């Protein structure tokens, strides 16, 4: 299991051009409160495409042990029909036209802020595969360990632990994006994301809370026990508007 969730308070704002100035004023005031109430301050602001904060946050993906995990973009409804079949999008809840546009915008903004390509992994659900594909950041690899367990909550812990182990042993040494579902993101990070929200987290060593060691062949062959799984530390959240 994940050893603990150790992040500072999160500030999540969705901005529009007409309200950007007032939002930035409020953001500054809240940031000042954070500075006076925490020993270490982090910038945890959900931003739009014009904000310098977006570039700073996304650039963390170029540093070791940082990963982006994203909830698929807008797909009206909740859950899936009882007859859902992987590989058959007609049996699933799918992206709306707005959701498809949101995914394209998210990919464009990743590129605008310096992430031209990434190792992209997706749940096998169509709405996640479509989100990942429309972002156009690289070849999309289906990753069953991030499939939804919305209907099978007994799988939440073993699947989340399997994901944590994958992050330690098999995560590529390049910017990495996982496109998945709300339940998976919440189980891993403690964040309840909006549709299209990106959560960036850091993998920390469970023993001393330092950034986890880079992947090595020895890491890949070792069998990790519960106390060897990483601490997941959320460092930022972003929502890309349509």
**Residue 9 confidence (pLDDT):** 32
Evaluate whether residue 7 is within a structural domain: no
Cβ neighbour number for residue 195 with a 10 Å cutoff? 20
Show Cβ contacts of residue 54 under 8 Å, excluding neighbours closer than 6 positions.
Answer: 47, 48, 109, 113, 238
**Residue 203 confidence (pLDDT):** 93
We report the CATH number of the domain holding residue 142 as 3.40.50.1240
**Residue 210 confidence (pLDDT):** 60
Evaluate whether residue 5 is within a structural domain: no
Evaluate whether residue 211 is within a structural domain: yes
The structural domain count of the chain equals: 1
**Residue 106 confidence (pLDDT):** 94
pTM score over 0.85 = no
Distance CA 201, CA 61 (A): 9
**Residue 33 confidence (pLDDT):** 33
**Residue 144 confidence (pLDDT):** 96
**Residue 27 confidence (pLDDT):** 38
Evaluate whether residue 141 is within a structural domain: yes
What are the pLDDT digits (tens) for 46-105?
444 445 678 889 999 999 999 999 999 999 987 777 778 888 999 999 999 999 999 999
Low-confidence ranges of the chain (pLDDT < 50): 1-50, 216-224
- Which structural domain range is residue 226 located in? 20-239
């Amino acid at each position: 299991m994940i050893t603990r969730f150790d992040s500072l308070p999160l500030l999540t704002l969705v901005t529009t051009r007409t309200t950007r100035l007032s939002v930035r004023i409020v953001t500054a005031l809240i940031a000042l409160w954070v500075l006076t109430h925490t020993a270490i301050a982090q910038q945890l602001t959900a931003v739009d495409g014009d904000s310098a904060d977006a570039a700073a946050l996304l650039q963390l993906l170029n540093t070791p042990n940082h990963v982006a995990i994203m909830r698929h973009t807008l797909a009206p409804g909740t859950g899936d029909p009882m007859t859902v079949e992987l590989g058959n999008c007609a049996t699933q809840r799918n992206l709306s036209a707005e959701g498809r546009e949101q995914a394209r915008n998210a990919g464009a903004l990743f590129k605008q802020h310096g992430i031209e390509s990434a190792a992209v992994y997706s749940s096998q659900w169509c709405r996640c595969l479509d989100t990942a594909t429309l972002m156009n950041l690289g070849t999309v690899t289906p990753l069953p360990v991030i499939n939804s367990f919305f209907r099978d909550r007994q799988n939440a812990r073993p699947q989340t632990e399997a994901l944590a182990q994958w992050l330690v042993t098999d995560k590529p040494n390049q910017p990495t994006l996982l496109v998945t579902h709300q339940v998976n993101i919440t189980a891993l990070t403690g964040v309840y994301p909006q549709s299209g929200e990106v959560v960036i987290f850091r993998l920390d060593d469970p023993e001393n809370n330092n950034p986890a060691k880079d992947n090595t062949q020895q890491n890949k062959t070792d069998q990790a026990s519960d106390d060897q799984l990483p601490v997941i530390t959320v460092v930022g959240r972003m929502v890309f508007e349509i």
